[in-house]
C-alpha cells in the first residue's frame, strides 16, 4: 500500500506545525490578514489542520458543504484566493515538502475555489 502524504510528512503533529506557520503568514499579509480579525484562531487552526491533513490523505474529512458554509459570509475574490495559495506554497516549501506534493496540495485547494470565492455576500 502506498504511503499517503499525511504519513510521509509526519501526521498531525507535523501538519499542525505547518498550519501554525501558515497562519503566521496569513496574519502578516495585508490582503489575507483582515479575514482573520475577530475570529477564534485556535478553533480555525484546528479546522485547517484537519482540512490539510484530509487533503494529504489523513484520517480527517471535510465536506464541500462544510467548506462552503464556513466561507459564505465572507467576500473572497480570486486575488485573495491566489494569495492564499501563494502563502500555502511558500509555507510548504519552507517545510521541505517535495514540489510534486506541494502541487497536489495546491490542486486540492484549487478544486475548492468555487466553494470559497464570491464577489458578493450570498446568504
Task: Per residue of the chain (123 residues), give pLDDT as tens.
Answer: 789 999 999 999 999 999 999 999 999 999 999 998 888 999 989 989 999 999 999 987 778 888 888 888 888 999 999 999 999 999 999 999 999 999 999 999 999 999 999 865 555
The answer as to whether 83 is a domain residue is: yes
* CATH number where 64 lies: 1.10.490.10
Q: At 120, phi and psi to the nearest 5?
A: -145, 155
* Domain annotation covers residue 121: no
Q: Is 4 within the bounds of a domain?
A: no
Full-model pTM: 0.89
DSSP string, 64-118: HHHHHHHHTTS---HHHHHHHHHHHHHHHHHTT--HHHHHHHHHHHHHTHHHH--
**Which residue range(s) make up the domain with 95?**
9-116
Amino acid at each position: 500500500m502506498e504511503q499517503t502524504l499525511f504519513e510521509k510528512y509526519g501526521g498531525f503533529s507535523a501538519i499542525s506545525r505547518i498550519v501554525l506557520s501558515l497562519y503566521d503568514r496569513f496574519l502578516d499579509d495585508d490582503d489575507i490578514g483582515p479575514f482573520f480579525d475577530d475570529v477564534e484562531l485556535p478553533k480555525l487552526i484546528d479546522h485547517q489542520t484537519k482540512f490539510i491533513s484530509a487533503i494529504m490523505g489523513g484520517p480527517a474529512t471535510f465536506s464541500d458543504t462544510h467548506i462552503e458554509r464556513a466561507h459564505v459570509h465572507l467576500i473572497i475574490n480570486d486575488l485573495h484566493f491566489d494569495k492564499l495559495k501563494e502563502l500555502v506554497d511558500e509555507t510548504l516549501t519552507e517545510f521541505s515538502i517535495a514540489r510534486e506534493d506541494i502541487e497536489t496540495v495546491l490542486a486540492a485547494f484549487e478544486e475548492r475555489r468555487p466553494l470559497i470565492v464570491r464577489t458578493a455576500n450570498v446568504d
